[in-house]
Amino acid sequence: MIWTSPRPTTTKLHPKTTSSWRLSPVFAVASPTTSSLCQQVTHSMPPEKLEIFKSLESWVNENVLPLRKPVEKCWQPIQFLPDPSQGTEEFAKEVQDLRQRVLELPDEYFVMLVGNMLTEDALPTYLTVINTLDGVRDETGSSLCPWAIWSRAWAAEENRHGDLLRTYLYLSGRVDMLKVEKTLQYLIGAGMDIETENNPYLGFVYASFQERATSSSHGNMARLAKVGGDPVLANICGIIAADEKRHENAYTRIIEKLLEVDPDATMLAIADMMKKKIIMPMHLMYDGQDPNIFEHFSTVIERQGVYTTYHYAEILEFFITRWKLEKLEGLIDEARRAQDFVCRLPSKIRKLASIKKLESRPVKFSWIFDK
């Protein structure tokens, strides 16, 4: 795999042992080295397990596909944006109102909003990764397999998030769109390395966690926008957070079902992803200037309380309860050890978070005109 940006670091990617939990920016690790990307594990799910996913197709039809929202009932970005079809003057006034509303929001808010927008807009990468997963991938691009129907509908819903945030940012005049667009191109070109190994057990654990994390982050951005004087932006972040919640529900149900039909493998998958840590999907981003932009961004969202190590611990705790992990019985020894590791992890993460020192030095972001 060719990997050109950001510049490779010498930091080792993902500690593999349970005892080496390393404190780093919010669910972030340093960008992977070229050699670590070359060591990627593939197709770790035994082929005989494909049958499980085949046998769950009717269950997906009945329990996951209803979580799609019909297109006619979905909101669309234009409903929250100045409408150019209503005449030049009215349109100009709505743009002016928008620019007025965002005046009181600090630059750091826009750093975070750009980060959230980039996370949404790197959607091509996520659909690519979902379609690497054995047993659930879209084999044709229009497959009628329920797993594939869900993935396409999910992507179509997600696509509105980036569109809306990007247009809002563009109209706000507060960010350097050229730098933002460049970062997006770098990001999609780099992809992401979340170590899901073509394995749907790992992939769905990642998706459950990530959907809840984005819902939490958009929700916190909504709260800050409201306090900062822009109720429309608060509403936008809120409706995106609500979509993420529904998506979280879908992926969470899938893991719940897998725990029922294959508890050992599913418990091991949850522990495996937690050992690797759930990395932000934009961990390979680069803006053409700052080789540590991801770490700098992670520090800002942690400092502003939009996404912190404590949130990470809370999300894990939520899933431990939601999936009743502490109550799982009859597991094989290895899965029991995994269960023990996962159930003890939140308090370990909290302890580490309490001694963590955040970088307080302000960092300049190209996205905000090097301010």
The catalytic site residues sit at 75, 120, 158, 161, 211, 214, 243-244, 247
Query: What contacts 120, CB < 8 A, 6 or more positions away?
Result: 158, 161, 162, 165, 240
Cα distance between residue 358 and residue 134, in whole Å: 40
Minimum CB separation of residue 214 from Fe ion in Å reads: 6
Nearest to residue 197, comparing CAs of 271, 269, 279, 125?
Answer: 269
Comparing CB distances to Fe ion, the nearer of 217 and 339 is: 217
Nearest to residue 274, comparing CAs of 255, 294, 254, 260?
Answer: 255
The tokens of 201 are what? 């057990």
Phi and psi based region of residue 147 (left: phi greater than 0; alpha: psi -120 to 50; beta: remaining): alpha
Cα distance between residue 366 and residue 50, in whole Å: 46
Comparing CB distances to Fe ion, the nearer of 74 and 95 is: 74
At residue 27's C-alpha, the angle toward residues 322 and 136, to 5°, is 60
User: Residue 140, Cα to own-chain centre: how many angstroms?
Assistant: 25
Comparing CB distances to Fe ion, the nearer of 13 and 188 is: 188
Minimum CB separation of residue 149 from Fe ion in Å reads: 17
Q: What is the DSSP string of 127-159?
A: HHHHTTSTTTS-SSSS--SHHHHHHHHHHHHHH
Contact characters 129-168, Fe ion, x per CB under 5 A: -----------------------------x--x-------
Evaluate the omega torsion of the peptide bond into residue 84 and state whether it is cis, within 30 degrees of 0. Answer: no
Comparing CB distances to Fe ion, the nearer of 161 and 311 is: 161
Furthest CA-CA distance within the chain: 70
Comparing CB distances to Fe ion, the nearer of 117 and 274 is: 117
Judged by CB under 5 A, which stretch of 120-128, 177-185, 191-199, 256-264 contacts Fe ion? 120-128
Comparing CB distances to Fe ion, the nearer of 211 and 302 is: 211
Cα distance between residue 164 and residue 110, in whole Å: 15
Cα distance between residue 134 and residue 153, in whole Å: 19
Question: According to the binding rule CB under 5 A, does residue 244 interact with Fe ion?
Answer: yes
Minimum CB separation of residue 147 from Fe ion in Å reads: 17
Cα distance between residue 16 and residue 195, in whole Å: 12
Minimum CB separation of residue 217 from Fe ion in Å reads: 10
Q: What is the DSSP string of 264-288?
A: HHHHHHHHHHHHH----TTTT---S
Cα distance between residue 371 and residue 368, in whole Å: 6
Minimum CB separation of residue 256 from Fe ion in Å reads: 18
What is the CB neighbour count within 10 angstroms for residue 333?
Answer: 8
Q: Looking at 68, 101, 247, 311, which residue binds Fe ion (CB under 5 A)?
A: 247
Comparing CB distances to Fe ion, the nearer of 180 and 268 is: 180
Minimum CB separation of residue 264 from Fe ion in Å reads: 29
Which residues are near Fe ion by CB under 5 A? 120, 158, 161, 211, 244, 247
